[in-house]
Amino acid sequence: MLGACSQPGSPAVAASKPDYDAASVVAAIRAVGAQADSSVEVHPLRDPALDGMLKQAHDFEAQQQITQALDAVGKALKIAPDSPDILQYEAELRIEARDWKQAAELAQKSWELGPKVGGLCARNLETVARARTTLGDTAGAAQARQQQTGCRVPPPVRL
């Protein structure tokens, strides 16, 4: 009787929840931000105390210790709770922890609080799009991807 419980799910069910390599997804999101072709980039002034916490988080992430990285980011967010770049970083860590719903929510909040231009904007919306795709919200993913075009500010035309 217990043998029936160990049967794998149907292929249709398995296909609805793809098993992504989370680290590759995060690398792709960061690449989108790095390649964002915008003449305007906004970088926040940061409390120097945050730099140590974020370095620690990055070090933990590099060692694939995502829980510890999230703890370090949580400490940084206690100091700067509305920092769009830190919220986005937490969203990326949430992807690595396979918490797609929280990743989408954090990236959306980062986008709402952020400059809505440049690399951070592109990372926000790419995170939202990928998380929504994973969660089965293809319409929401398409909307986020469409919004990404607004992240690029063309250079002024000079005569």
Helix (H) or strand (E) holding 148: none
CATH number of 21-35+48-151: 1.25.40.10
Q: What six digits make up the tokens of 43?
A: 């970088």
Domains of the chain, residue spans: 21-35+48-151
Return the beta strands (E) in the chain as ranges: none
DSSP state of 5: G
The closest of 103, 120, 108 to 25, measured between CA atoms, is: 103
153 with 133: CB under 8 angstroms?
no
Compute how many other C-beta atoms are within 10 angstroms of the C-beta atom of residue 59: 13
pLDDT in tens, the chain (159 residues): 334 333 333 333 333 345 568 989 999 999 998 887 665 556 667 788 899 999 999 999 999 999 999 999 999 999 999 999 999 999 999 999 999 999 999 999 999 999 899 999 999 999 999 999 999 999 999 999 999 999 987 777 777
What are the tokens at 16?
A: 């609805």
pLDDT of residue 82: 94
Contact 106, 136 (CB under 8 A): no
pLDDT score for 52: 93
pLDDT at position 157: 78
Q: What is the pLDDT of residue 14?
A: 31
